Amino acid sequence: MDAANPIDLEALRAEVQACRACPLCDGRIQTVFGDGNPAARVLVVGEAPGKNEDEQGIPFVGKAGQNLNRLLEIAGLEREDIFIANVLKCRPPGNRDPRPEEIQACAPFLRQQTRSINPEFIVTLGNFATKFILKTEVGITRLHGKLHQAGRFKVFPIYHPAAAIYDRSKMAALEDDFVTLGQLLGTVPQNPPAPAATEG
Ligand code: URA
């Protein structure tokens, strides 16, 4: 954070709540600003709120969120350790993909959240978050599980946890990537000890 010009996350939350910069504001129950530790080492960035998130005002509380909680445990993390935000703060109707003009309208909020939290790592979940943070057109299939750099931030793209709900073959890659994330953070041992030999 720029000490001379600190960004107050709570003031930003109020700005997001009042936002009418794109038509998604007309369909929302509420905005979903983000949740977690405002001084987190890890900022996790998803795509956009779904139905449950729109109802509760908290990111990743539906099925994808349950999967994310389990995957965070694999990385030796709890939700309280990290901050979770989305590229879009309002739910797209029917959970359709975010549109470029919606991403553009919402972009200043994620940029300011990132500056305020000033994480060491940004974990991008899925294509939309990864393309936004890395400013790339390369897809998540090629980028996931490897460490990238965006300015001063280490960026670690991972498949979106919802992807594995529809395509079970992605679950192993997701779990492997969360182990790697934990190793990068030091919350998972590099070489897990071999299981103790059993007698007999
Ligand atoms: N998917 C997302 O990308 N974000 C959420 O908050 C929930 C589901």
Q: Which residues of the chain have pLDDT under 50?
A: 1-2
Res 127: pLDDT:
98
Cβ(47) – ligand 1 distance below 6 Å? yes
Question: What does pTM read for this prediction?
Answer: 0.93
Substitution site in 86, 88, 102 for ligand 1 pocket (most atoms within 8 Å of beta carbon): 86
State pLDDT tens for residues 143-166. 999 999 999 999 999 999 999 988
Q: Count, in order, helices (H) and strands (E) of the chain.
A: 8, 6
Res 6: pLDDT:
72
Cβ(46) – ligand 1 distance below 6 Å? yes
Res 147: pLDDT:
98
Sign of the CA dihedral 114, 98, 52, 70?
negative
Res 3: pLDDT:
54
Cβ(159) – ligand 1 distance below 6 Å? no
- Structural domains for the chain: 5-185 (3.40.470.10)
